Structure formats: structure tokens, C-alpha cells
């Protein structure tokens, strides 16, 4: 959360101001190919029309847009300053995906313990550049800025830390790069944006995936031979685009009862609503969002099934309940699938993280589907036989 930028009176008329602000801060007016402009224009128009922003909400939203465009400009500046960053192909990356709140984060951070992987740290998603040595990160103003913004976000919504803890130095989601092309589902999640959402639903994200691929090459150019470990729930809707940029990817798809994970997602997304928008509209927005997310992820899974049929042997299924019940057994399956062993030292480090359960150190995320005027049966209905295929019906509360 960045409150250092004064929002314009009209977002849709501020696109030149936005670019001038970012260019002055980054020291570059190169924003790459213009394919991002249609999405940015649709977003700014939506920000004037759709949300019921509070005064602080306007400032937060504008700061987010500035920050994301700044990340794009920094990426292209770093690409110019590092010729040859894309000389090495990305070989057989391991990619974790699945509908949100189905265990992707826990699995991602657990596997990131293995030093043979490299990942996308939060601060490098905010400011793409070749990854510098870890012991120098604190010297970078971009790293310190990421720490500051993350802490401000949790200060504004303390419950968000228990729901989904993020740290500047830890691995995070690919979607933070994809949104820098401004054709992204994320822009419909922060505040009310139905007109942007309607536009986004009709778009092709291929340009965003091309940009994402180049940024992964850029960030990993300081360790080109280290295998990538990536994670993003949104990839499950775009497996075709993922395989287009990473043809030999090894994909791990997680599965969980949508009547459990989708309300958890909406509860997480609604954490900042009282600060961003009129709090009196929160209950209604939550209800609308849950129905939207139920439909969106059901469609995503159907699309993923069609793409998977064209990529036999490249996707491994992991059930959320199995991972929590026998995490090491699941890891054994995963490492066999990705053609890697588990050395003794790595096995000990994995076991230690499993025992420590760091995901719970900030508290437990509490949510109830009843808060969103929908039943579990209604939430499951669009998923057809999905629950039966993976034996996902959860009986615990």
C-alpha cells in the first residue's frame, strides 16, 4: 500500500500524468510495446465509474496503479541495461497452479526450501531486474520500498496477514508480473471494477505471458542454469499460454473443494474493502464477488482439462487434503514427477518446515460461506463431477 501519490480528480483523464510520474521516478520513458495501453485505459475508466472509493481508497488505488506501471518501466529499463539477459532458455520450469486457496502457496514455499530452485521474490516482482546476491538486498531502495508497502498493507488490514502472509524476500506469485501488462484478473479483485472485468473477460492474455516470460528470463539471468519454481493460481485458466512460453514445463495442479477455497479467497479479497470503498456496501460486494469467483474458477478448470489433454505427462494432480495429511509422501510423488531426487540435507530442511508450520504463525484465517448468501451446494454446482473425480468433499468445518 503506497500512499505517497496524490490521486487525480479524474482517473480516466490522468493517463499522461501517470506516465510522466513514472518516467520521472524511474528515469526512463520506455514502457515497452503499447499492448498494455488498452487495458490501462479500460482500468482508469472503470476507476471513475465503478467503485465507491473512500478518500483514502482513491489514494491507495492510484498508488497501486502507479506502482504497477513503475514495475513495467523498471523491467524495460533493466532489459536495456542488461543485453543478453534472454540468451539462456528456461528449461523445464516447475509450475504450481490450481484454484486459489487450494494449497498452492503452502506447497510453493515448502518446495522453495530446496536450494536447487530459484523463484520470484516479492520485491523483484515489484521491480524486475537481474536477481542480485541475497546478502545485498537490503542495500536496494526497491527492496526497502517493498518492505514498507507490505507492512503498511498489514497495518491497514491486520487479518490479511493470517489469511495470506507475504514478505519482500519470499517467493510470490507470477500474477504480479502478469498484471504489469494491465490485462489481468487482479484488477477486478482489489476494488469494484465490473466494467473493467467485462472488458477483461473478452481479452487474450498472450502479450502478458510474453512479457512475463521475458521478466522471468531477466530476473533469473544471474543464475541461468538454476531450475525455476513458479506459482500462480491464475495459470490454471491459461495453461495454453503457459505451455506456449514454457513448452516443457512440469505443472503441479492442486485440488480442493471449491465450497471451502472460494469463500476463503473472497474473505481474503474483502479484507481491504472497508478502507478502499464505502463499508456499507461490503456485504453486497462480497456476495457478488463470491458468485463471480465460483463461476470463473469452474470455467478455468474446464478449460484446463481441455489443454491438459494435449500435454500428456506434463501435469501432476495433488489433492489439498492429501498434502496436509502426508506432505512428505506428496513431495516424493512431486520430485519423481519432476525427475529430481531429494538429498538428505534437503529432506531434513523440508521436514523442519513441515514441523514448524510457518503458515500458521500469524494466526488462523476464519471465514464462513454463510456470510455471502450462498450455500455450499450452490458453490459446488458449477463444478460438475470435479469433486467426485478427485474425492474433494470435505466434511470438516
C-alpha to C-alpha distance for 262 and 381, rounded to whole angstroms: 13
Report percent pLDDT > 90 for the chain.
86
pLDDT, residue 168, reads 83
Q: For the chain, what percentages of helix, strand and coil (3-state, to nearest 5) are there?
A: 60, 5, 30
pTM above 0.85, yes or no: yes
For the chain, what is the radius of gyration of the CA atoms?
A: 20
pLDDT, residue 362, reads 57
Would you tell me how many other CB atoms lie within 10 Å of the CB of residue 235? 28
Q: What domains are defined for the chain?
A: 89-174+202-390 (3.40.50.300)
pLDDT, residue 358, reads 74
Residues 6+ apart with CB under 8 A from 178: 184, 186, 205, 208, 209, 211, 212, 232, 234
Q: CA nearest 327: which of 305, 347, 298, 344? A: 347
Q: In this structure, are strands 94-98 and 315-319 parallel, antiparallel, or unpaired?
A: unpaired
pLDDT, residue 176, reads 96
C-alpha to C-alpha distance for 259 and 381, rounded to whole angstroms: 10
C-alpha to C-alpha distance for 234 and 334, rounded to whole angstroms: 20
C-alpha to C-alpha distance for 96 and 101, rounded to whole angstroms: 12
C-alpha to C-alpha distance for 153 and 2, rounded to whole angstroms: 9
pLDDT, residue 366, reads 77
Q: CA nearest 36: which of 245, 213, 203, 233? A: 203
Per-residue pLDDT of 273-326, as tens digits, reads 999 999 999 899 999 999 999 999 999 999 999 999 999 999 999 999 999 999
Which residues in the chain land under pLDDT 70? Answer: 1-2, 156-165, 359-365, 394-397
CA atoms within 13 A on the CB side of 280: 1
C-alpha to C-alpha distance for 373 and 118, rounded to whole angstroms: 42
Q: CA nearest 211: which of 236, 170, 245, 238? A: 245
Strand order in the sheet with 117-118: 117-118, 227-231, 94-98, 250-255, 315-319
C-alpha cell, 127: 521491480
C-alpha cell, 133: 546476491
Amino acid at each position: 500500500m503506497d500512499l505517497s501519490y496524490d490521486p487525480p480528480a479524474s482517473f480516466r483523464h490522468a493517463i499522461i500524468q501517470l506516465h510522466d510520474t513514472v518516467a520521472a521516478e524511474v528515469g526512463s520513458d520506455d514502457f515497452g510495446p503499447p499492448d498494455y495501453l488498452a487495458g490501462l485505459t479500460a482500468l482508469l475508466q472503470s476507476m471513475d465509474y465503478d467503485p465507491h472509493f473512500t478518500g483514502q481508497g482513491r489514494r491507495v488505488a492510484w498508488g497501486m496503479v502507479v506502482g504497477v506501471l513503475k514495475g513495467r518501466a523498471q523491467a524495460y529499463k533493466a532489459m536495456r541495461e542488461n543485453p543478453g539477459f534472454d540468451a539462456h532458455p528456461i528449461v523445464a520450469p516447475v509450475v504450481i497452479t490450481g484454484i486459489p486457496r487450494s494449497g498452492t502457496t503452502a506447497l510453493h514455499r515448502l518446495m522453495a526450501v530446496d536450494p536447487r530452485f530459484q523463484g520470484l521474490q516479492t520485491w523483484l516482482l515489484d521491480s524486475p531486474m537481474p536477481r542480485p546476491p541475497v546478502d545485498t538486498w537490503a542495500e536496494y531502495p526497491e527492496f526497502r520500498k517493498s518492505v514498507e508497502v507490505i507492512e503498511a498493507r498489514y497495518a491497514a488490514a491486520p487479518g490479511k496477514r493470517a489469511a495470506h502472509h507475504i514478505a519482500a524476500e519470499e517467493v510470490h506469485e507470477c500474477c504480479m508480473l502478469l498484471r504489469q501488462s494491465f490485462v489481468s484478473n487482479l484488477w477486478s479483485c482489489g476494488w469494484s471494477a465490473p466494467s473493467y472485468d467485462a472488458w477483461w473477460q473478452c481479452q487474450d492474455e498472450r502479450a502478458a505471458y510474453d512479457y512475463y516470460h521475458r521478466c522471468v528470463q531477466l530476473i533469473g539471468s544471474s543464475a541461468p542454469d538454476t531450475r525455476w519454481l513458479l506459482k500462480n493460481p491464475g495459470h490454471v485458466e491459461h495453461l495454453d499460454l503457459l505451455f506456449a512460453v514454457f513448452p516443457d514445463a512440469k505443472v503441479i495442479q492442486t485440488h480442493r473443494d471449491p465450497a471451502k477455497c472460494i469463500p476463503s479467497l473472497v474473505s481474503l479479497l474483502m479484507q481491504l474493502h472497508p478502507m478502499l470503498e464505502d463499508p456499507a456496501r461490503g456485504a453486497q460486494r462480497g456476495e457478488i464477488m463470491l458468485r463471480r469467483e465460483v463461476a470463473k474458477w469452474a470455467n478455468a478448470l474446464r478449460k484446463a482439462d481441455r489443454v491438459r489433454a494435449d500435454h500428456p505427462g506434463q501435469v501432476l494432480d495433488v489433492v489439498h487434503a492429501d498434502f496436509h495429511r502426508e506432505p512428505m509422501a506428496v513431495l516424493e510423488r512431486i520430485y519423481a514427477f519432476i525427475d529430481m531426487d531429494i538429498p538428505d540435507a534437503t529432506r531434513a530442511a523440508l521436514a523442519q518446515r513441515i514441523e514448524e508450520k510457518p503458515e500458521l504463525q500469524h494466526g488462523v484465517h476464519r471465514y464462513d460461506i454463510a456470510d455471502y448468501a450462498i450455500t455450499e451446494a450452490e458453490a459446488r454446482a458449477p463444478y460438475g463431477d470435479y469433486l467426485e473425480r478427485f474425492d474433494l468433499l470435505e466434511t470438516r468445518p
